[in-house]
Structure 1
Amino acid sequence: MEIETLLEMLDTGLFASFLSKILLISILIFILTAIYYLIHIGNRHLDPRKRLLFTSDHFKALLLFSLGFTLIFWLYLRRHAILPMLTPFIISAIIAYAFSPVIKWIMKVTKLSRAWAVLVLFLSGIFLFFVLFYTLLPNVAEELRRLGERLPDFSMALYHGFETWYQNTLMGVDFLPEHPQEILEFFNLNLSTITNFLFQTIGNIATQFGSFLSSLVYIVTIPVLTFYFMKDEEKIGDFIKGSVPICLQSWVFPLSRQVDKVLSGFIRGQLLVALFVGVASGISLIILQVEFAILIGIIAGITNVIPYLGPIMGGVPAAVIAFLDSPMKALWVVLAFVVIQQTESSVVSPRIVGQRVGLHPTMIILALLVGGSLWGFVGLLIAVPLAAILKVFIAAAIRWSKHHLPEIF
C-alpha cells in the first residue's frame, strides 16, 4: 500500500515538487553561507581599512530575512487553504488590538485587574449587541426587504425621470439625438445590468455573511480567542519581544513602535470617525424623511473609511433615493452630507486621527487603485494602512542603508 502511494506521488509530480522546494531552500542556505565565508577569506588578504565588515550578526539578519520572505511567499501561494484556518485568529487579533486602549482605560478608572477589565468589556459588548439586535437589526432587515421590493420601481422612476429631463433641457442640441429613444435604450440596458449586479452582489454578501454567522466554529472560537488575546496581551507581547534575536532588537523594536503608531492612529481613529459619520448621516436622513435612512447611514459610516471615494459611495444612494421623491429633498440631502463631511474632515478627523498615516494624497489614490484591483471592497478598506506600513518599512530600510552600507562597501 505504501509503495502504491509513493508511485501515485511520483506520477502526480508531488514528490518532484517537494524535492524542488527542498532543493531551493538548500541552495539559498548554501549561497548565504558561501557569501559569508568568501567575505571572511577575502578579508584575510586585504588591508584592514578595505575589509568588508560582514559579521555573524549581519549573516543571521540576512538569513532570517531570507527565510521570513520565503515563508511569507509560501503562505501567499497556499493562501486559499490556509486563510480559512487563520481567519478566526486574524479577526480576534484585530478586535483585541482595536479595543486595547478601552481595556487600559477600564483598568485605570476601576482599578481592576486586566482579566476583570476584559470581562467587563465583554459583558458590556454582549449587552450592547442584544440592544442593537432587538432595536436596530429589525429595522435594517425591514429596510433591506423594502429595498429589494422597490428596486425595480426605482429603475423605472429613474428611466422616466431621465426621459422627462432630456426632453425639457437637452432637446434640440445639435450633437445629441432629436429623440431620447437611443439614449434611453442604452440607459435601460445598462440600468438592467446594474440592477442585476446589485441584486447579485447583495445576495452574495448576504449569503457569505449568513454562512459566516452560521459557522459554529467562528461563533465559538472568535469570542474565546479575542478574550485570551485581550487578557494575555502583555504576555504575548513579551513572548514576541523575547523571540526577536538580540542582533535585530535595535532595529525591530523602533520599527514595531512606528507601525503600532500608524495602525493605532488609523484603525481606532477611523472606527470613531465612521461611527460619527454613520450616526450623523442616519439622523439627518431620518429628519429629512428619506427612505432607508438607517441602512444608508450604516453604508455611509462603513464606506467613510475609504478616503476620497467613501463619501461619494455613501452620499450618492441617499441623493438618488431622495431625488425620486423630490428634487428639493435631494438638494437638502446633498447639503446635509456636505456639512457632515466638512465637519468630519475639518473637526473630527484632525482631533481623532490626525496626520498619523503620513501619506501624500497621490499615494493614497494609488494605494486605493491597487487594493481595489487586487482584493475588491476589502482591498479598499485595508489599502491605506498597508501603504502606510509599507512606507514605514521603506523609510527604515533607507535609514539602515545609510548607516550600514558604507561599512560593508
Structure 2
Amino acid sequence: MNPSLNRWPVFAIAALLVWLVWALQSILMPFLAGALLAYLCNPLVNRLMSSFKVKRPVAVTMVFSSLLISLSISLILLLPPLWRQFIYLESRLPSLLRWVNRQAIPWLEKTFHTDIDRLDMDLISTWLASYWQEAGTAAGNVLTRVAQSSMDILSLAGLLALIPVVMFYLLLDWDKLIQNIRELIPRQHEPVVGRIAAECDEVLAAFIRGQFIVMLLLGIVYAGGLQLIGLKLGIIIGLLAGLGSIIPYFGFIIGILSASVSVLFQFGFDVDHLLLVGLVFMIGQVLEGWVLQPYFIGDKIGLPPVTVIFAIMAGGQLFGLVGMLLALPVAAIIMVLLRHAHDSYRNSHFYQRTDRLDATDSSQDADS
C-alpha cells in the first residue's frame, strides 16, 4: 500500500481543526485562555502533590485560590496609580513636545554639531486632537451600542467568567486528558509522537512558563524601582520595559531611554536621577542574566524572538484574538517539526550519498 494513502486522515483532521477554529473563533477565546492558564499552573499543582502529598483536587484548589487572590489584589493596587499616570501623560504630552523642541534638540545639535529639524507642533497637536476625538467618539459609540444591547453585556461577562471555570476543570483533569490523548495515538507511532510532544512541551515551557514569568518579574522590578526614585511615569515605563524584554535588550533600551527622557522632562538635567535610572535598569539586567533566566528558563531552547513576533502577528491577522492565543503553541509545534525534518534530511541517503560521485571520479581517474 502506498504510504501516502495512510497519511490522508492526518491531513483531513488538521484541515478540520483549522476550519473549526475559523468557524468557532467567536466562542473559543475563554476555552483557549483557560487552557493556557491551566498549562501554566499545572507544574505548580504537580509540585504541591509531590511535596505535600495532597490529592489533586486539593492542590488545584490551592493554586486556583492563590492565583485568583493575587490577581484581584494586583488589580486593586495597580489600576488606580496606572490610570493616574495615563492622565498625567496625556496632560503633559504637549509640554513634553515643546521641551523636545526648545531644549533636547538644541542640546543634541550643540553636542553632535548637526542640524535637526524641529517638531511641527501645530501638526502634532492637530493629529493628537483628532486622534483623541476619534478615540473618544469610537469609545462612546461602543459604550452606546453595548448599553443598548444587554445581551452583548451578558455575553461578554459570560465569556470572561468562563475563563476561570475552564481553567479549574481542565487543571483538575489535566493528567487524565493527556493520558487519554496519548492512548488515542497508534501504538506504532506513539514513541515518535510522544518524543515530539515532549520537545514541543519543552519549547513552550521555556517560553510561556519561563519567558513570560521573566517578563512579569522584570516589569515589577523596573516599575517598582522607577517609582521609588520618584518618576511619575514609573509604572507605565517599567511595565513596557518588562513586556519589551521578550526581545533581548529591546526592553532594556526602550525602558532606559524613556525613563531618561522622563527624568529630563520632570527634573531637568539632574545627574542623580539619571544615575538612579541607570542603576534600576542595571539591577534588572543583572537579575535577568544571573537569576531569572537561569532559574525559569535554564538551558532550554525557547522560541526565537522573531518567530514569536511573526507568529503573534500572523495569528492575529488570520483568526483575531483566538489566533494570537494559538500562535505560540502552533509556532512551537512547527519549529519542532522543522527541526526533525532538518535532522532527517541531514541523515538521509539523498544528502549523504557520495558513493556514485566517488565511483564516477574513480572511473575518470582510471581512464586517464
Fold agreement, TM-score > 0.5: yes
TM-score (norm 2): 0.75
Is 1:238 the counterpart of 2:238? The answer is: no
Residue 119 of structure 1 deviates from its aligned partner by 1.1
| In structure 2, distance between residues paired with 1:139 and 1:122 | 27
| In structure 1, distance between residues paired with 2:250 and 2:26 | 29
Look up the match of 2:292.
348
| In structure 1, distance between residues paired with 2:255 and 2:330 | 23
Where do 1:267-282 residues align within 5 Å?
A: 267-282=208-223
Look up the match of 2:310.
370
Look up the match of 1:94.
36
Residue 163 of structure 1 deviates from its aligned partner by 4.6
- Look up the equivalent residue of 1:284 and give its one-letter code: G
- Look up the equivalent residue of 2:307 and give its one-letter code: A
Q: Is the 8 A contact 1:159 1:184 kept in 2?
A: yes
> Structure 1: any 5+ residue segments left out of the alignment?
1-35, 40-53
Aligned length: 335
- Structure 1 residue matching 2:189: 3-state secondary structure: helix
Q: Is the 8 A contact 1:155 1:191 kept in 2?
A: no
- Look up the equivalent residue of 2:24 and give its one-letter code: I
The structure 1 residue matched to 2:11, chosen from 57, 66, 71, is 66
Q: Is the 8 A contact 2:307 2:331 kept in 1?
A: yes
> Structure 2: any 5+ residue segments left out of the alignment?
147-151, 351-368
Look up the match of 1:229.
170
Q: Is the 8 A contact 1:107 1:117 kept in 2?
A: yes
CA gap of 1:192–1:214, structure 2 versus 1, over 3 A, is: farther
CA gap of 1:307–1:381, structure 2 versus 1, over 3 A, is: farther
Look up the match of 1:157.
99
| In structure 2, distance between residues paired with 1:228 and 1:131 | 23
- Look up the equivalent residue of 1:215 and give its one-letter code: L
User: Sequence identity, in percent?
Assistant: 25
CA gap of 1:188–1:321, structure 2 versus 1, over 3 A, is: farther
Residue 224 of structure 1 deviates from its aligned partner by 0.7
- Look up the equivalent residue of 1:184 and give its one-letter code: R
The structure 1 residue matched to 2:196, chosen from 234, 244, 255, is 255
- Structure 2 residue matching 1:217: 3-state secondary structure: helix
| In structure 2, distance between residues paired with 1:203 and 1:395 | 49
Where do 1:297-376 residues align within 5 Å?
A: 297-325=238-266, 326-327=268-269, 328=271, 329-357=273-301, 364=304, 366-367=306-307, 370-371=310-311, 374=314, 375=316
Q: Is the 8 A contact 2:214 2:292 kept in 1?
A: yes
CA gap of 1:381–1:309, structure 2 versus 1, over 3 A, is: farther
CA gap of 1:203–1:381, structure 2 versus 1, over 3 A, is: farther
CA gap of 1:120–1:347, structure 2 versus 1, over 3 A, is: closer
Deviations 1:153-174 (A, max 9, x none): 2222223223542564467x5x
Residue 63 of structure 1 deviates from its aligned partner by 1.5
The structure 2 residue matched to 1:116, chosen from 42, 58, 71, is 58
Q: Is the 8 A contact 2:223 2:238 kept in 1?
A: yes
| In structure 1, distance between residues paired with 2:54 and 2:63 | 12
Where do 1:125-144 residues align within 5 Å?
A: 125-144=67-86
Residue 68 of structure 1 deviates from its aligned partner by 3.3
- Look up the equivalent residue of 2:181 and give its one-letter code: I
TM-score (norm 1): 0.68
Deviations 1:237-271 (A, max 9, x none): 12211222233312211100111111112211123
Is 1:219 the counterpart of 2:160? The answer is: yes
How well do the aligned residues superpose, as a CA RMSD in angstroms? Answer: 4.0
- Look up the equivalent residue of 2:281 and give its one-letter code: F
CA gap of 1:247–1:234, structure 2 versus 1, over 3 A, is: same
CA gap of 1:381–1:231, structure 2 versus 1, over 3 A, is: closer
Residue 381 of structure 1 deviates from its aligned partner by 10
- Structure 1 residue matching 2:118: 3-state secondary structure: helix
CA gap of 1:71–1:215, structure 2 versus 1, over 3 A, is: same
| In structure 2, distance between residues paired with 1:202 and 1:304 | 31
- Structure 1 residue matching 2:301: 3-state secondary structure: coil
